[in-house]
Amino acid sequence: MEKSLHKIKISDEELIRHYLETQNSKYFEQLYGKYSTKVFSKCISLLKDEGRAQDATQDIFLKIFLNLSKFGGKSKFSTWIYSITYNYCIDLIRKKKKSGNIFSDEIERAPDLAEEVPDSALLEMEVKKLKIVLDIIPVGDKAVLLMKYQDDMSIREISETLNKSESAIKMKLKRAKHKAQKVYEDKFKQNQL
């Protein structure tokens, strides 16, 4: 049975159910093995510090472990994990910056954006240049762009993760894409002239 567990693909939900029923750590270890690199990658992307990212990853998995019975299956398990990851990292960033809300809706003070930046504009940026752009734009903008385009989360999933309305998330994405495009143009288009 032990060897066949590794050969047979078991869904996340089945692993969770088996773990909760048996308390056998091998089931949680499989979840950890599947998601730890992705969680660490998100942490380092947001926190920009390997040591803090390693600590955050461990803290996040402890949180997941302690709250596994609360996973209700309303969303994909990966979405639930990424939600915990983003919220944990954003809380760390807030504490470090002592700033208010990095996901503020900015509706009152932001100029109206006339046209929509097509998704293809972001997707056409070279990966190296895109990483530079993402490091320059505000972390809240970076997070929503990563949720949408790297994690393939829906507007609804992002809104649930950040506890914002879907319309606020759409506006946040629109503004984040504009900021990313402006940084890209300012940083790289001049060099091509």
The domain ranges of the chain are 2-97, 119-192
pLDDT at 119: 65
Task: Please identify which residue in the block is written with the tokens 């308390």.
Answer: 23
What dihedral do alpha carbons 100, 103, 105, 111 form, nearest 10°?
A: 100
- CATH number of this structure's domain 2-97: 1.10.1740.10
For residue 157, which of 36, 146, 12 has the smallest C-alpha distance? 146
Question: CA–CA distance from 94 to each of 97, 99, 139 (Å)?
Answer: 5, 5, 10
Quickly list H helices, 48-99: 50-67, 77-97
Q: Give the pTM.
A: 0.61
CATH class of 119-192: mainly alpha
CB 153 within 8 A of CB 84: no
Alpha-carbon distance of 48 to 135, in angstroms, equals: 9
Grouped pLDDT means (10 residues each) for the chain, 193 residues = 57 91 91 92 88 93 90 85 89 73 48 59 66 83 84 85 87 89 81 53
141: number of CA atoms within 13 Å, CB side? Answer: 17
In tens, the pLDDT along 117-131 reads 666 666 555 667 777
For residue 68, which of 80, 59, 56, 79 has the smallest C-alpha distance? 80
